[in-house]
Structure 1
Amino acid sequence: MNSKAKLLTLATTTLVFSSLSVGIVLAQAKLTNQSKLFINGVGQVRVGMSVSQATNASGTKFVGESPNNNCYYVKPKAEPKQVGFMVTEGRISRVDVWKNSKITTLKGAKIGDSEARIKSLYPGQIQVTPHKYVQGGHYLTFIPKDRIDQNYRLVFETDGKRVTQFRSGKLPEVEYVEGCS
């Protein structure tokens, strides 16, 4: 093989590899039931993004209430189900994960986990307070130690034994018990 042929083969291989890499990156960016919840977002969607930015970052179309209120919710049009995004002042401020969702946190916490498991996943960082509406239930609030994350929380709601739903986001919105109500 002469040097021109080697160069052409190398260029073609690089182009194909680059195309595959871009495809893999785009596939990983899509919001799915396997996306992980962070203290400041889920998958590629982060607190502070506009809905348009979240759509571009996640490859997911969002639908929901009209943005004429200062606080409203949007949800992915398709997958993942049972996940909502609170939008305040035009920006995503929190992510809610509701019953039957398959979404987990980075540490693997999920709906159905025991209170003991949540406390063991986040040792020394869970604040327990009584649930406002569920008798015997609790809010298990993860309070980060890192200074950079001090304005974020992860809140697990329980029936007193097991996680029934959870959310993450920025203060004060993540602590709103009734969402936008």
Structure 2
Amino acid sequence: MRKLNSSTKFVTLLISTLVIFAVSVTSVNAQAQLTERSQLAINGIRPIRVGMTVDEASKSAGIKLITSGSGGVDEYQCSYVHPQGEPKEIAFMVVKGRIARVDINNKRMTTLRGAKIGNTQEQIIKLYPGQIKETPHPYVGGPPQNGKYLTFVPKDAADKNYRIIFETSKNRVTRFRSGKLPEVEYIEGCS
């Protein structure tokens, strides 16, 4: 067998290192993508976190976030952005240039604990035992709708300024959102 010279060894090592690096970067980028499998947390949806700018969130998620409705993102007011393309039925409230909350209307998306649109009020209460505050829905109250807001209130002091709110009608979750106080509690979004 012939011995490899030092330059051949170096080239082999360099190529191996580049291949490993490329695989690692591809793996990290694949994990960073915002998809329908991304799960909502109290402070955002991986890879987008409350407090990020729209540019930071777009880069982190590997997608372009575009404004909803007319106009652009007003860094001093409230507006919404959503992914250009997939996933559908998800929006990010932007206040003073930063993500403040995440609104989910997508029936396939879940929270970290598996809560989703279509769950019953009882299922939500079981997923978050002892941490759900029930209040009447301001627009869907009383029979036959019996709408409620089921608000997850965290016990961890580090999360005291965050909530997840499940809106229900006829005992079923119709939409949900997470984010920081007070924005997560705004009934009509930016209106």
| Range of TM-score over shorter length | over 0.9
Match of 1:87 in 2: 94
Q: Where in structure 2 are there 5+ consecutive unaligned residues?
A: none
Q: Where in structure 1 are there 5+ consecutive unaligned residues?
A: none
Is the 8 Å Cα contact of residues 54 and 99 (structure 2) preserved in structure 1?
yes
Letter paired with 1:167: R
Match of 2:124 in 1: 118
Q: CA deviation at 1:33?
A: 0.8
Matched-pair identity in %? 54
Q: CA deviation at 1:67?
A: 2.1
Is the 8 Å Cα contact of residues 115 and 160 (structure 1) preserved in structure 2?
no
Match of 1:146 in 2: 156
Is the 8 Å Cα contact of residues 138 and 160 (structure 1) preserved in structure 2?
no
Letter paired with 2:164: L
Q: Which has the larger Rg?
A: 2
In 1, the alpha carbon distance for the partners of 2:107 and 2:83 equals 13
Provide the aligned C-alpha RMSD in A.
Answer: 1.5
How many residues are aligned here?
A: 180
Letter paired with 2:24: S
**Of the candidates 46, 52, 64, which is equivalent to residue 43 of structure 1?**
46
Letter paired with 1:146: D
Deviation track 1:74-93 (CA, whole Å, cap 9, x = no partner) reads 11111110000001111110
Match of 1:175 in 2: 185
- 1:127 has 2:133 as partner: yes
Which TM-score applies when normalising by structure 2?
A: 0.89
Match of 2:63 in 1: 60
Q: CA deviation at 1:62?
A: 1.0
Q: CA deviation at 1:8?
A: 4.0
Q: CA deviation at 1:22?
A: 0.3
Is the 8 Å Cα contact of residues 116 and 173 (structure 2) preserved in structure 1?
yes
Letter paired with 1:49: M
